[in-house]
Chain A
Amino acid sequence: MSQAVNTRPPQELVSWPEPGYTRVPLNVFSDAGLYAWEQDLIFRGPTWSYLGLEIEIPATGDYVTTQVGDTPVIVVRKPDGSINALVNKCVHKGSILCYESKGNRSRAHNFTCPYHNWIYDFDGNLTSVAFEKGIQGKGGMPPDFDKSRHRLIRLRVETIRGLIFGTFSERTPPLREYLGPVMVQHMERTLYGTPKILGRYSQLLPNTNWKLYVENSRDNYHPSLLHAFFSTFKLNRLSAEGGTRQDEKSWHHITFTKRHTDKGDQAYDSGMIRAMKQDYGLRDPSLIDQWMEYPDQITNSIQSIFPGFVLQQILNSLGTRQVITRGVNDCELVWTLLGFEEDTEEQTCVRVKQSNLVGPAGFVSMEDGAIGGFVQKGIRGDLDNVAVIEMGGHDVGSQPTRATETSVRGFWKVYRELMDV
């Protein structure tokens, strides 16, 4: 294991108080040793991590740089149209090869390290070492230096509906098997057109361990309680039809609702729910006008794929969210807002207006940016304590309701399996 060197095994770093997933020891969010193990066992383990969109690298030689956990990765389009993902690290001394967030190597299909000019092809083979034979008869690499024994670490890459995923581990099943039919069907349903990028930005989440954001993305219970916009405008309340879907192993999650089926509930009218504001109105209510984009009448769906990818559909605002780890205490969320090439100008305008709902300035999403910090602040003095996750019962699995934390328990189920804790 490469990251957790000289670290005690995970079983010694965290102690689950009981079997099952209803109690979560709070030090999982703060222990640096566990973070190193997560890099090995989760991000370099049998999981698929989102790398970006095919449309970001349309032409031969186009590349973007991103991260899988802490590992910097180059994602490049090869001449045959396939995509490679390579660790952005020279085998020589470890310098990154590509120091820009995106670019193109169309003239010569290779990556040249800025430090000593070692050159790699798009498959990661080391093809050239500067002054390998020395110069003017002096110096150079020893005669037994064999370039073919040194290569960039390469991820396996698969795509689905224009989304690019990569995995480090040979043990990872193929992507569609990893996702399972429920998740695959939802991705294909949501991304029904030719994606185009409307906007892209990053949200730094300080004081938010990556798992706090991912947990939040799988938490059915909070949307109408934390996000006053959802409740007040009846966009996403538990009184509407909806549910929680998971794959068979509970690694992944979809929450969905149909806004127009909201019949109301005494709970929301009681005045006890902070997020249900009786006296608040928008000056420009066209913000929440939408067209019924999907035949299934679902107006809001959040799909969370372990370990750190979210596919969002909030009214007509579509997009991807990628979780990037930044140490044990912080993480970053990369947002890419999407439309389709097939959209009419009117539809694009609706998506543009609804972009106000999401992202760091999002009427809905901004609170998800703050809430992880609220948790980390609250638990600081009680890291030996536990979180209590019993909403909806004690089990995992799909449920025809959203008054449940079944997918939060699902997250901890995967975590305990992969980390063996």
Chain B
Amino acid sequence: MELTLWTYEGPPHVGAMRIAASMEGVHYVLHAPQGDTYADLLFTMIERRDRRPPVTYTTFQARDLGGDTAELVKRTIADAVQRFQPEALLVGESCTAELIQDQPGALAAGMDLGGIPMVSLELPAYSKKENWGAAETFYQLVRGLLKAQVPPPGTPKPSPQRWQQEGRQPRVNLLGPTLLGFRCRDDIKEITGLLNEHGIAVNVVAPLGARPADLLRLPAADANVCLYPEVAESVCSWLERSFGTPVVRTVPIGIGATEAFLKEITALLGLDLAASAGDNGAAPGLPATVAAASRLPWYSRSVDSTYLTGKRVFIFGDATHAVAAARIASQELGFEVVGLGSYSREQARQVRAAAQELGLEALITDDYLAVEKAMAEAAPELVLGTQMERHSAKRLGVPCAVISTPLHVQDVPARYAPQMGWEGANVIFDSWVHPLMMGLEEHLIGMFRHDFEFVDGHRSHLGDGAPSMTPAADPVHQGQPVGVAIAAPAVAAAPAMAPEAASSATATLEPPGNGVVEARWSADGEAELHKIPFFVRSKVRRNTETFARERGIALIDAETLYDAKAHFSK
């Protein structure tokens, strides 16, 4: 039993719904009690879908339990097949139905469904979660539809370069995009365009927008692009094992990753990247293409971006987006990554590896309070996370950009806003730098609030009702008394949640050690600190406290501050 106040992932059958709702011609019969239809609103509200997800629920009640719920399942399946005439049927159960063991899949297998392919889903609700459910459903559906096509063992693997002999364009599948994924709709368009520019055709995109008949065409591709490993990894592996289709595993988010993706896919398909890249007017070769295709490199090099140098950024999300964000932040924007984590346990290994490269220990947890605690301790200047990290960052007064699911309706923009490819890099530059700038403006207002223009009654062009202007550059320490326990700054900032996070078995960050000298700030030390420009103040405070702790200094005064400054500027 596990206490959950809020959860990053829903149950596995919601993952199955994401597959069904992403596709055309697929219907999902779900053995589930009243109330489970709540999941429909994730699609109709967050994604603003114009139709209900293709799911029929049995809606069994307590009074049905004594009777024949199996009959209810069969009736519901028959009605759904007749009403929706699907091209493929998924049959499964939610957590409660799993307990009553009607085995709807077996019941469906015994029915005459008029030849519609039926896939029985067994998604253990008490041990697995949403992304696993999505991956398993996609895999079972693909395998169910394609198993008759699997060549016998020992069949030679087809060459990914056979298109050259067959006198056609090379073609690949884009696998993994779903509804309620992060910007999948726009990523597909971006990556399709990118591949087309390099002479590569897209064979099938799935699950988003695909029909069951499209899945039957998956083996015709020369390679599979595993765009969203959370959903597509098991399908890609199975297609590789069964049909010998190689997998492109680089996820093209960010400039470096997009380049690496293009190198990987062109090498695999036997294309000449340098030659194919020159058709947009720039000189052949990758760097010129990048410069022509994305503004991120130049924007990041331009002098205005100097202030981005070393900005402390805390990253948490699904594994794919978190790892990509860490690379972009550290290599392409010159940020300092001060925290990296993910709720995706299935993909934890790659997050740990990416964190290690940055000298960090990855935070692998599904406890949002542990994430908030780690965030507070890291004292970031920018948070990149899910919609929950946006809430946490708001509480801590830190700017935030959403980079991953779970998402809110505002994270599904009307405009074209991919994360992948060249345009995705542009979108990322804007959407990460903008909140930093906004934060900077707020701080400037806070900094100048003592100027005469800002005295009460003249604080805003709008007069009363303008937002209050408290300096928020110093989120962890703000509003505290002068004395601060060095050992546990975040505890003071958020007393209610500290015990939870510290006792959580899922958090991998160690709570602060014991036996540390407690240092206090003297009044003149604090006064001196506040003369320091807000945008470096939290860093100076942290450095000074570290300096004091290392030397056993109990009272930090102005001299300590300047000693520390000299020490760290060496």
A and B from one complex: no
A residues with a Cβ closer than 8 A to B are none
B residues with a Cβ closer than 8 A to A are none
